[in-house]
Chain A
């Protein structure tokens, strides 16, 4: 009896212990799996990643450059926010890049990186990205990984649905998230339905990349959310999601979620071109900036524009149609064949997939439900190809693998669901940690996806990483999609909220990557091509220092005759012509930033000394064995002193 009792106690406690250990193990390991994952993401020291991945920096305003499959961060490209490390937005040359009709803006919210395309396939020439807050689109040059151009979008309240490209970069599209009075004016907010309008903007991309606002389409005052251009058979069309068709101007969370269906706007941009050619537009005066970087002058320039062409749907039949789409759709994604248009109805229980060919037939047979401000609304059943059921909660975005499958992110249920085009059946699903927004497959929104991986871009990380106080990192998760079952390979942190990312095979970009700026092509007006030309010139209170750098000295490195109240312009030319040898320049008391001058480049920082004395300057980027010797002095004298301007090196 006694023995039996002991035995029973022992057994039951063993069982309890086993469960406890099992349970504890589950909590601790969090999806840890013991396979070949480590080997799959391991890129040996000195080896290269297979893909470049460009992530939006979200509210950092920048673009991150990562490698896949390793998840290593290579670079942050400053775009819409000042970056003191690279003097972006601080140097005299780069300040014009951040000019807008609202003046110089030091910050914005970067959302969707989109690679330029040739024949519907990413070509590696440029990366476009939108600023959401003060509407703009930037073009990044992928031979230098720097921002080449930024164009402001007039008549837009918030540039969210942007910057998606057509098959051969004919256009970059942009839609306003927030509607506004157009032109903007002082009206009661409660007059929303009467006064507020939206715009869909088409930005022409010239063969050399130059951006120009070709035309805008005035649309009803909804919130326009995301976009994608057609491809293949649907080339010539662009699709824009909208929500708040209720036209609420307060508590949208409730008031904009009333209608059973909102709309995808389908725009026939070839038709728009015909109307423009016929002169069927109005010219509206407005103000917007185009800023561009001249790579020879090493300097940005701003151009102020004052007019835009506007098309009105009532006057342009056949220009635009509405596709009813359930429940405040977010993403609109066109499959590689160009036939299917998948929508992410944030609050919907299914993913509706529209058919382009059915849409064309419905237009031809005038299969309309009604119209909104002259825009025909097609019948849902007439355009629908199918609905993906059991797609998770809060479906947002879809990318494609090129093998007949779509992958949709579901925000509320934190997962990716894989479904088959044609049968519309879910074939696999995988949890993400946590609250996935966008997802990204290499080439996943193009005609020819490279597939292989899907990257989940998560809004919340909670317990996934070591805690860093109240603010935690954002994250990406690399998932293998080469087999039937998706398989989680790697978590890695990203900087800023990763709204979207695009990846491209490394070999496409590597061969075009610039190593230096040839010094003989430097046309900067304050550059010097030889150390003997280093000098200091005074023009009233402005002092221009023509300075050169080479391993390991500045010329000049001793400067006297500067006076309190002077504006000292340090124009620093890096005479190096060797890859990866930038020099830095920092002077004590600088109220802006350092300079980081790449080989062959000239950059300028303004310094305003406030007190007499001696001020050291030095190179901030470790450049050689004698880097610590790369320094100099400026002597600042009182305003009324007679100290002569003098300079030199090695004397």
Chain B
């Protein structure tokens, strides 16, 4: 039974629920209001942003206004403005009396018009309505009666009361007439008023135009407009909608300041008194790169194609930025923002615009230079081997088809001989003839393919050296030591650390050693190491190579550091290598897949001779690989110089080569097969040419779309939880920890960035804790990258995404910009930027060396406007042979006075064409180039020009080389005789007028000519023959130079005597800039 006492009243009937209801009601109402708030604001955080924006931006603009006003005042005090002001005042005063009179008349007329109009429009409406009835009436009598009604109505007079009080009676026609007459009158008066005010308006427009032109910031009226716009802003979603690309980006709903015309910083957008910028201030800044926005109009490109994130989301910052579990395209972190460039610019090797693009360009370059593409396929990288393969396949097919055709033709002929009728015999013969013709067509095609493969073979390069030459090239005992850990021997090497076991090292070295060539090398005389050192430091080796270790290191990182070269290298081979690195020991036939030796040539009775001109295989007649696949060029040094440099390099060592432990096991044939297995396993052939591995495929995964792999497909292995929670940092090795761009993990890093960065810092990190056999363990070696390099590569990989943008968003231009795109691949391939400057602000390796800081005129020329300067055909010739001579090759063709040497890169026809077009396109030159004819000078003009040419005020030949060896030693500028073929005349004229504008820092003086009454006149004294000469003196000089003959030059030089101390610029005006760079031009 219930313990409680039984109540008196029935609780079911009497119990009150009032309190329950009140409580429930109150809570329900509260929830209702909560729901309303959530609907209006909670789910729309951008509203808070926009309200905050209105306040802060207005405050910011208010603060800017006085500044702008004072600036305007500054502008207004200038005499030019005062003058404009005066003009305005005068015009105003002159127009005033007539203006006032006209305005009074117009006001008066307007009132009259209004009075007439009121009556007139009312009556017209009535007439129109009646008219419609008449028109639509079906009976003739009805029409007639309506017409009568209209006419009667029109006759009825109407009374118009004018503003001055008097009344007039008008019938309909009169009323209409009066109305039109009044309006005509007003139009006439208005036109007159416009005429009267014209000078006034013009003057005031000129004043505001003057202010606009002379203001750095926005003018007060522009600011006023912004303030008004901001104040009247009604919070709403700001959206970019590009239907064709399916872009819907609402980012600007919070980031209101992105496109504002003023530079907004987080500090300037902070609330008053705030110490640190809050989330609002950070959101309101303007885009850091307005230049980029100009190129990529947000109305076309939106935001998310570059930055990723969820452009449609507006409910929270995490959602909008895509930083939540289920969004597949989270926004790129700030430091990897350039990954977005890759979305459309994957075909560009260099993507630099001002401050932007250096990281992603570095990433692309690293991917190539570090040999990543040796193991990982990536669309567009290292295409040559694939193309070569296709070409070889085609050649094979065509050859087979040819054979079949010959057989069939013979067969047909035989059939024709035994044919029953003449007709049939003719038919069969015709068929046989057709097959023969088909064969000859195929011959043509094969020739084309051979030509292509000639270029492709020349263009194919390997990141690492040719290992077929190890026996000739290396200290045998050094090889295992190197394989153990390359960075121990050479900390900056490209060769990564493979974590090999001792047994693997032995096997690999044995295989490499035993599979290498054993041909004999010519013995070389020892050279002069002292001289070699000087050559090494001055010929430009340091643009790619470095020397010295640690802090002492000098030179470029593009190629090997040579500090311990003496321990590993064989002197005889080194001499050959420096003399011409491309020289192979034996040619390689890609069709037969074997190295061709003298015996193959002997069989065919051919001399054992092969080079780029003799590159046909003696066996199958197709192209041979006749060069080492290295980018190392030939510096065209005489053998003695090469010996000197090699001798110098042989002195670079920490220990004697003989000090290395004996490695005679490398001759053990038993190790050979095992070594072969490991060489294949580790994909050594990705970077090196190895006997038997010439066609080896890549061992790594393709990375073209690595960035869009779902995170679940990236194997964090035992560190999945650690990455998701950010609990432990898996990398424990101190060196590897330092590679992490953001240091050890501080928070969760379960994303692509975290995965890539950890993997690049310590590739086998995800093997940690797992038990794996030798063959299962990760093969990817440690590339010993630094933080910046990892950041760049991560940026590159993050951007490697498959995207849903339409294909026309891809940057694949068909015009000259395409040439620029293609050209960069070649420029970066050969490290041209180690010596030459291509982009303003770009530093070359040589610029950083102390020997050039003192003598900037010894730097290689800048190529900022090379395309505008030189004749493209000349440039092609120059690139194929920079000495510009078949016999005298130990020199620079254009600048013999430079110690640094423009090397012969042995570019293929394909790459020559790409480079030439690149330079032309970079300077916006039209292709093809048709040189403009240079007018022949009369004898008088020649005389005058000569006087300019040899003027003591500007003695051209003092600095420019003349071909006289004595003089050329001190010359600092190219020989004029080259100009005719090399230069474009219009450029040459611009150049003599103002060299500093074209190449800042050049020692060629500016101010040689001055502008005088629309004519360029020589700034120095001119002989009397110039009296009355009306053409430009500069043009005269350039025309003369383009017609200069060697005899003429000798004559002039002789008449001038030998000038001394040519390092000084001529005396007219010293170049004002003292930039630390710039070859002379």
Same complex: no
Residues of A whose CB lies within 8 Å of any CB of B are none
